[in-house]
Structure 1
Amino acid sequence: MSLRKIDPKQRGFLIVNSHPTGSAATVTRMWEEIPARPTGPGPGPVVLLLGHSAGYGLATLLTGLRRHNIRGIGVAYEAPETERRTAGAGWYRTAAAARLADEAGHDVVFVNTDAFSDKGKAEVLDLMRERFGKVDHLIYSLAAPRRTDPATGSVHHSVIKPLGRPYEAPSLDFSDHVPQVTSIRLEPAIEEEKQATEQVMGGGDWHLWVQALADRDLLADGFTTAALTYIGSELTAPIYREGTIGAAKEHLERTGRDLNTGVLAGRGRAFTVVAGAAVTQASSAIPSIALYTAFLRTVLGEAFRTTAQQAQDLWDQLTGTTPLVTDNEGRIRLDGWELDPRVQEKVRDLWSDPHKGLARSAEGATWFLGRVRELYGWGVEGIDYSAPVETTVAWPQR
């Protein structure tokens, strides 16, 4: 037990500690905002969700539970509490999600392990075989700064850099807790950095997971796997879609096509899923994305679709509740609301003079920072941050 008063350790968008009660409250709020749906008699589909504790992975978990009675295993790699730091926000969110699932009678298990490792895969798949059997849906939503190749032992580190030429653009800065526009310049990545980013964020590990399921005869009839990706606006393309991250996402999409013609041929189907913009721990670290997202929120207001709303669209399509919405490359598209030409035209207008744009988007910038803080459990309405809080929270028992 560790009851103590904690304050956020924040510099700009970087926050290194988490508030357990605030983190749990964000999960409860998302859960309550998802419209429950009668699922009918009998158990729902068996799901293996890789990366369940944050962002789209968390939204996919909660939406699947609330609307489709999914059961199965969630996998994340979260840091426990130490003498110097709280546990990671994803640790606290997992505990809250497990409590809500248990109260609602859902059969879901959470494993804290390195999903990139052979040991982690074996642990999860042994548990899957023993408790649930064959898998109906594999959702791949892992985000990490590095990955150890299980075949070679090499450690690859991802980088956020442009390709081919330097990148100069406006960026949103909160160093003094007041939003302001600054300018950033990034030199282009070298080939080794591009390849390392593909190793971390591309489709190599996704393929290994599908192959491992197939090797263990754990693919259910009609098996479907989906990996989350992003395209975004032409405004951020030089640092995202045309940069090292974009190269990794293209690798992910090629992997999906290879799965369909390879291990899943006649046995299942693989999709990449293009989600819309969101405030996540991963996206807040990408230069210019914060300013772009603040402008997008200014343009859309409450029409800015949450991760849970997008996850609802995804589950409805994967389960056949609604028709699949795919592009000419076979990708499921959830980002039409963001890339609507009328929306992008208004965002471009703000971007054309970012200082004036920020003055017109003060509410959007404040909203963005608030959402970043909430990722770590800070600034959540209804939480008394002056009171001591129990920071020692157990990982959910199996």
Structure 2
Amino acid sequence: MTERIVSSRSRGFLFLDSHPAGCTRLVDDMWQAVPEPVQDSADEAPVALVIGSSAGYGLAATIAGLARAGIRGIGVSFEKAPARRTGTAGWYRTAATAELAAKAGLDFVFLNGDAFSDALKDDVSDLLDKRFGGKLDYLVYSVAAPRRTDPETGVTYASVLKPIGEAYRTKTLVFDGEGVPEITTVETGPAEGDDIQQTVAVMGGRDWARWVGHLAGRDLLAQGFKTVALSYIGSPLTAAIYRQGTIGAAKAHLEQTARDLNDWLAREVDGRALTSVNGAAVTQSSTAIPGIALYVGLLRGVLEDAMVPPIDQLTQLWDQLTGIAALDVDDKGRVRLDTWELTPAVQEAVTERWQTATTENIPALADLDWFTVQVRQLYGFAVPGIDYAAPVETEVPWPRPTV
């Protein structure tokens, strides 16, 4: 037994350890939030692959797919095992998800490794062939990474968060060592050299296309196969650093990849490729983007409980993918799960608060209590019902297939 008390030490929005019991409870809460499946029990469960299954929208896609669509298949993520420090939060979330899937009688396997590598693509392909009948019905792609090594060339690319054309100044939300909020202004210099190309190589659609091509080369795509990459557009308030910046260039490449894949899949397997534009949420990736923390806190201040959490959005996505609901796409072929966020009335209200926000009035304009809880819960802290003064087992094993 390696039980110990796990404390919530952090550097800004980055926590040094994760709490296993808190992560487990949050996964269970997400599962319980998913409506009962709407499917004929006599139908064979669809086979799905979720790449990036342990965090954020990828985790929501995995849980919603299991609890709502009854999928079987594989989840892929890249997490650190417990050692001197605890395991990463995604490590514990994966273990909890696997346990719930097993209790529900769903055959879902989790692999831990570099999704960009061809070796992991081979491992997934082998599992699909030997364990799941050799045909894949759905692929959900949700990868946010700082760097990617191209398996063909061996070149490693690094993504950057920079505006394009000129420097970007924005308000941002920070908290001091005692948790007191402060509104400051930060400036980010513009993209230089090959920053755009590097970011596109990491965060664009190249690896997604390689996954589809690899699986097709092994004859693993079912007739009617559907694949979707999860994306974000966001508010005009953050567009300069996000949608119009280097990450935005990568998202544009992702959307072009979807159109190219869609044409190819339609010919080959009567299939479909899409991007899903999700709404704002507090994630480990989003908190690193200048201005996003302030924007999301203000958005919550405007919408309160009308904000749509990731698990609800991904349940809607699975309903559309599986035909429970009609597939609803915009004129660019994107599934829009962010319409609740981007209505003119909501954006006008958030913009008004953004323009007037100061350190003195920010507690009245943004839901900072909600925001700080959301950040802490990314690592399993601030979860109701968990005794953080009690020792907890940290040496949780990676889930292994039960049969």
TM range (shorter): over 0.9
Q: In 2, are the aligned partners of 1:271 and 1:332 still within 8 Å (CA)?
A: yes
Range that drifts further, 181-190 or 318-327: 318-327
Distance 1:191 1:125 in 2: 37
Counterpart in the other structure of 1:361:
365
Q: In 2, are the aligned partners of 1:135 and 1:223 still within 8 Å (CA)?
A: yes
Distance 1:344 1:288 in 2: 15
How big is the shift at 1:301?
0.5
Distance 1:339 1:296 in 2: 10
Q: In 2, are the aligned partners of 1:162 and 1:239 still within 8 Å (CA)?
A: yes
Secondary structure of the equivalent of 2:153? coil
Counterpart in the other structure of 2:155:
154
Distance 1:8 1:360 in 2: 26
Counterpart in the other structure of 2:125:
125
Q: In 1, are the aligned partners of 2:38 and 2:324 still within 8 Å (CA)?
A: no
How many residues are treated as equivalent by the alignment? Answer: 396
Q: In 1, are the aligned partners of 2:265 and 2:273 still within 8 Å (CA)?
A: no
Counterpart in the other structure of 1:106:
106
How big is the shift at 1:87?
0.5
Counterpart in the other structure of 1:332:
335
- Matching residue within 318, 322, 346 for 1:319: 322
Distance 2:361 2:254 in 1: 34
Counterpart in the other structure of 1:299:
302
5+ residue gaps, structure 2: none
Q: In 2, are the aligned partners of 1:295 and 1:357 still within 8 Å (CA)?
A: no
- The answer to whether structure 1 residue 30 and structure 2 residue 34 are counterparts is no
Distance 2:176 2:10 in 1: 9
Q: In 2, are the aligned partners of 1:98 and 1:108 still within 8 Å (CA)?
A: yes
Range that drifts further, 236-245 or 1-10: 1-10
Give a deviation string over 1:79-101, Cα, whole Å, max 9, x none.
Answer: 11112x11000000000001111
How big is the shift at 1:153?
0.9
5+ residue gaps, structure 1: none
- Written as runs of structure 1 = structure 2, the 5 A alignment for 1:146-225 is 146-176=147-177, 177-225=179-227
How big is the shift at 1:261?
2.6
Q: In 2, are the aligned partners of 1:174 and 1:180 still within 8 Å (CA)?
A: yes
Secondary structure of the equivalent of 2:49? strand
Secondary structure of the equivalent of 2:240? coil
Q: In 1, are the aligned partners of 2:20 and 2:394 still within 8 Å (CA)?
A: yes
Q: Percent identity?
A: 53
Distance 2:49 2:37 in 1: 21
Counterpart in the other structure of 2:13:
13
Give a deviation string over 1:144-190, Cα, whole Å, max 9, x none.
Answer: 11111111111111111111100101001013311111111000011
Distance 1:31 1:274 in 2: 22
Counterpart in the other structure of 1:347:
350
Distance 1:186 1:318 in 2: 39
Name the aligned partner's letter for residue 95 of structure 1.
Answer: A
Q: In 2, are the aligned partners of 1:75 and 1:112 still within 8 Å (CA)?
A: yes
CA 1:260–1:357 in 2, change beyond 3 Å: closer, same or farther?
Answer: farther
How big is the shift at 1:266?
3.9
Distance 1:152 1:2 in 2: 42
How big is the shift at 1:69?
0.8
Give a deviation string over 1:55-94, Cα, whole Å, max 9, x none.
Answer: 11111111111111111000001011112x1100000000
How big is the shift at 1:120?
0.8
How big is the shift at 1:143?
1.2
Counterpart in the other structure of 1:381:
384
How big is the shift at 1:265?
2.7
Secondary structure of the equivalent of 2:195? helix
Secondary structure of the equivalent of 2:362? helix
TM score, norm. by length of structure 2: 0.96
CA 1:320–1:274 in 2, change beyond 3 Å: closer, same or farther?
Answer: same
CA 1:308–1:385 in 2, change beyond 3 Å: closer, same or farther?
Answer: same
Counterpart in the other structure of 1:59:
60
How big is the shift at 1:365?
1.8
How big is the shift at 1:191?
3.5
Range that drifts further, 245-254 or 11-20: 11-20
Q: In 2, are the aligned partners of 1:211 and 1:263 still within 8 Å (CA)?
A: no
Q: In 2, are the aligned partners of 1:24 and 1:96 still within 8 Å (CA)?
A: yes
Distance 1:330 1:99 in 2: 36
- Matching residue within 238, 241, 244 for 1:239: 241
Q: In 2, are the aligned partners of 1:13 and 1:369 still within 8 Å (CA)?
A: no
Distance 1:59 1:158 in 2: 24
Counterpart in the other structure of 2:140:
139
Secondary structure of the equivalent of 2:369? helix
Q: In 2, are the aligned partners of 1:11 and 1:175 still within 8 Å (CA)?
A: no
Range that drifts further, 12-21 or 218-227: 12-21
Distance 1:324 1:181 in 2: 41
- Written as runs of structure 1 = structure 2, the 5 A alignment for 1:88-103 is 88-103=88-103
Q: In 2, are the aligned partners of 1:350 and 1:357 still within 8 Å (CA)?
A: no
Distance 1:118 1:292 in 2: 38
Distance 1:274 1:191 in 2: 29
Counterpart in the other structure of 1:253:
255
How big is the shift at 1:357?
5.7
Give a deviation string over 1:339-395, Cα, whole Å, max 9, x none.
Answer: 011111100110111216623225x12211110110100111111111111110000
Secondary structure of the equivalent of 2:238? coil
- Matching residue within 280, 283, 289 for 1:280: 283
Secondary structure of the equivalent of 1:62? helix
Name the aligned partner's letter for residue 365 of structure 2.
Answer: S
Q: In 1, are the aligned partners of 2:357 and 2:365 still within 8 Å (CA)?
A: no
